[in-house]
């Protein structure tokens, strides 16, 4: 099973700087299969997880710490949340 993950690379010290978006495909163990940069923030929610790094890094390789963004607007609604609504 593959997971699609969005990583947001931003800068907390200079909020005017435009964030960079990285889309990753990972397997169930967390191994990165594919990594690509996205030009702009997608409009439809189709990611399994959304992570953010705010240390002003250029790539995910140089990052030391990520924070998970739960219930982000680009994260797919979970199956559990869908069943609660009905």
pTM, whole model, 2 decimals? 0.79
Query: Residue 11 has which token pair?
Result: 């800068």
pLDDT at 85: 58
Q: Which residues contact 6 (CB under 8 A, 6 or more apart)?
A: 21, 22, 23, 24, 38, 42, 47, 49, 50, 51, 72, 74
Cα(13)–Cα(74) distance, rounded to whole angstroms? 24
Residue 13 confidence (pLDDT): 87
Q: What are phi and psi of 62, to 5 degrees?
A: -85, 0
Is the pLDDT at 9 greater than 80, yes or no? yes
Mean pLDDT value across residues 42-46 = 88
pLDDT digits (tens, 9 = 90+) for 53-76: 988 887 887 787 888 889 888 898
The H-or-E segment that residue 79 falls in is helix 79-85
pLDDT at 12 over 90: no
């Amino acid at each position: 099973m593959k997971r699609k993950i969005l990583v947001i690379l931003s800068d907390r010290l200079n909020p005017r700087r435009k964030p960079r978006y990285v889309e990753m495909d990972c397997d169930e163990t967390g191994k990165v299969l594919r990594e690509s940069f996205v030009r702009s923030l997608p409009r439809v929610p189709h990611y399994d997880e959304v992570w953010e790094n705010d240390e002003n890094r250029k790539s995910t390789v140089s990052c030391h710490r990520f924070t998970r963004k739960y219930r982000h607007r680009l994260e797919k609604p979970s199956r559990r949340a869908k069943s609660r609504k009905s």
